[in-house]
Structure 1
Amino acid sequence: MKSYLTVEDILQRKHFEESEVVAGYEGLSRLVKWVHVVEVTNIRNLLNGNELILSTGVAWQGKKEHFISLVKQLIALQASGLCIEMGTYTTIIPEEVIEIANRAQFPIILIHKEVPFVDITQDIHGLLINHQYKILSDLESYSLELSKKLLTIDHYNEVLKMIRNYLQVQVMIVFHKKEEVQCFPDVMEQEQRTLLQGVKREGDSLSHKTPYSIARLPIKLLGETYAELIIASDERELTEFDHLILDRTATALAELLLRDLYVEEKRRVEETKWVMSWLSGKETEEGIYEHLAFHSSTVKPKGAFVCIVKLDSIPQNMSVQLTYFKLAFRSIFDQQGFSMFAIEKANNIIFILVNERSPQTWKKRMKEGLTRLKASDVVRKGMNNKKPLFGVGKFVNKLSDIHKSYQSAEETLRIKDRLSEQSDSYFYEDLHVFRFISLLSRTVDLNEVVDEYLAPVIEYDRKYNGKLMETLKTYLVCNGSKQETARQLFIVRQTLYHRLHKLEKLIGKDFMKHEKRLALEFMLLSYEFLTTSKPIEEKDHDAL
């Protein structure tokens, strides 16, 4: 339906049968909200806009400058057009007036047959009033149809299609948090940019000109602006009816989106609860396979493992980047033969990766995937300089043993987080002796054990600024080769002999015997673990 009246519509009425448009042809689509008779030249406080003006010309009779001033005032006040009764007071329209009206696309209509203005106003005002009643009726019908549609549709696109077909305008919805824009009907990328620039300028206090007539309304969910519904037209000016339809549609969209969010949140919570239960070891092998068969029927499990991605913090404005990160993670590791389940916990993203290829190649494929992920733009540029820390747990053949992989992935992160010099490996099985050191540090006073073996050497280096600890470590790594030790330390043989003699005095001449040498190597690694660790607060492990 047509929700507005234009100058062109008015010209179809019987009283305008002998009328002529002499200027402003391009403005015949201007809206008409009222008809007003004007017989004065100063009208700055008499109009509200969108009035069609009727005049005999008596006010400017013989005074061209008054006529020009009146036309300029009407244009500035956004009148719809000027209808002049020709004959009695006006016989000719000056060229200057026609030029001004053409530039402003302001219609000037000449009425060549004498018609009482009261007949014209009664006719058009009656038409406008009847039109308003029809608008209210149509608005109620639209609202009723929209309410019925909400009961049957599954996607908001149906609502956008409905308002598009009803108003014949371009419709856009902008999702703020997702930074996503959808247009209905679809438009080319360049046109979409032009539309968005018009929307931005329309809200600018500087009121930049835009080729579109635009109306916009926020869609609020739970007190927050979730999206914005926008309608635009480059063919006509939007009316109050358009705004009313926009308001009804935005309300309906809010109801639909809130319903969808509730369903999605409920599904996500249920999925998260199940994954957490799986990670805690509460799910049986049979139950896991049943769940996978129902939700991921194409997955053919051949073992699984857990990968934890830790960030220092996850600010609210990173929600979009995290979504892209998870999408990139899924895309990359899907190509490597893994199906994925993901949940967020504190600053961690926990991924369960179900292997679908040969178990013998899982580690190689995982390494390749992590290398690709770390080199991707989503990690290098999209994480706000938050470098993620990866911890990969051990591979388990039984899906019900995934809690063991989860615990080992946590242990991997715990160890890697404490070491100041990060290992190139992300895997629990590559940490070797540090796994035992970490375990020992939580059960005994590791400092006391280290002091038992290395306290004299540590004290000597502290007191004399010596290099005995470095010498001992290098000497053991070089399997007792004095030539290689001296070369790696960049010292002469005589200096090395002097240091080794000092070490024998401090820790005994037997420090190169097999059992004691193993103990010293273990204590050196423990000392490095303790002295290079980042200062962290020990936290109890929350049970899932």
Structure 2
Amino acid sequence: MTMTSEFRHTSWGPEEPALSVRQVLTLERVLAGEPEVVAGADGLDRAVRWVHVAEAADVGVMLTGGEMVLTTGVLLAGDEAKQAAYIQSLHRAEAAAVVLGLGRAFPTPPEVMRRAAERCGLPLVVLHRPFPFAELTEEVQSRLVRAKFAAVSLSEAVRTSLTALITSGAPLQRLLDEVAQHSGCPVVLTNLAHRVLATAGERSAVDDVLRDWERIARQAGGSEGDGWVRAELGGRGERWGRLLLCGYRGDSATGRLLADRAAEALVLHRMLGGASGRTWEEQSAHGLLTDLASGTVPARHLLPRARAAGLPVNRRTFVPLVVPGAEPERLDRVLRTLGLTGLVAELADGATAVLLSLARDQDAEALTGRLAARLRTPELPDAVVAAADPRTCWDDVPAGLREARHVADAVAGAALDRPAVVRLRDVHLRGLIRLLRDDPQVQSFAERELDGLLCGGEGELLDVLRTYLATGRNKSRTAQLHHVSRPALYRRLEAIQARLGIDLDDFEQAASVHIALLAHDAQQG
């Protein structure tokens, strides 16, 4: 893929499809006239918007720019001042090129016109064989009309398909996939800080773009070229993003039309809130963290994506965290307050995942503790952060996210007075049971041990048993937590022992029931 170092802002209005001067000169009808470029060869990639046959010396006043002017020069022969003024007039009118048919007026290329065209960079082409200009105008105009029709058809097809997706509540990624399918090139969505929010297209091509993204992002304020097309995203008087077609292989006008149609759809999608209710930034972080944790995509393949999303990845320490019940917005604010860099995303079960990226000399454990302390407020006194051990290798991040998820799962429903930060070494037996909860034999064991309470629907007694075992069989603490007197608690414990047929003072029997209760809670959770 060829990458340009420049970009140009795309206008919101569709532009006319065009051929370049170079493309016109390769047409069979033009080749029959034996064309020769005698000046302005550097301008052969100029766009030809129309072909105009004119013999008037002051033809420039009739042009609007982008025309290829055809002439025999019959009114210019013998007057060098007129010849120079003619070229200057075309240059001021921003003509694409001038084609001079050699013949009676000019048997050879006129030197005055050649020098004037070379000075102002206007392509001057001479035809060595007689050539009916009408054939050339017919050929070029028909091609331009066909190109315009094709561009409009593509524009309407894109508009229709994207509107249908928005109406059906499709997520952002589905819209970008549709744009990539129509454009045949990688599609990148960024915020105004050039952070990549989402991509679409063939994975290898997208990875090629993201690997060079830092350079591309630094240069994103210039002009377009080499198939790179940009459309601004915004509404209600402000801009908040950009859409880029990276390496579009069609003509530039069609690419800009396609980008504009896609931008209109994305603006509408954002204004309607999208299917998930998440912002684009949240969807980006969610997708990246989900892909990392799932392991379906190798971590090394996600590295360019993480870097393009603004996460520092070179010589860093990564700390995977999961915070049950915390809102992503609140965690974002805490990270900014503490000056920490990381990705934040809400998981399917209501927990929020965080991937911190720290400098190697920062104390990961201390900073995780500060984060957890900030989360504990009078409204949320029991907020807990499930933390995996820090990783210094990017390839180890997926395992770290799964470890943090496991710790958060294990700590769910645990007793009160939990530490603010919980790690794998803190979950002990509860963590093992959570891992084994789906095993049929474990399920059968839990039902058998707790049958006397489960079959009778004794929810209150089950809660008392849970608290009693979680507090280390502390009767005073259990009575206090359940707001009952000691004698009332004794009666409940006797009822539990009678229904289960066990002696809770026997350590092995109490341990067996405790394990069964942990398994039951894990299965229910």
| Bigger-Rg structure (1/2) | 1
Higher relative contact order (Cα pairs below 8 Å, separated by 6+ residues): 2
TM-score, structure 2 normalization: 0.46
TM-score, structure 1 normalization: 0.44
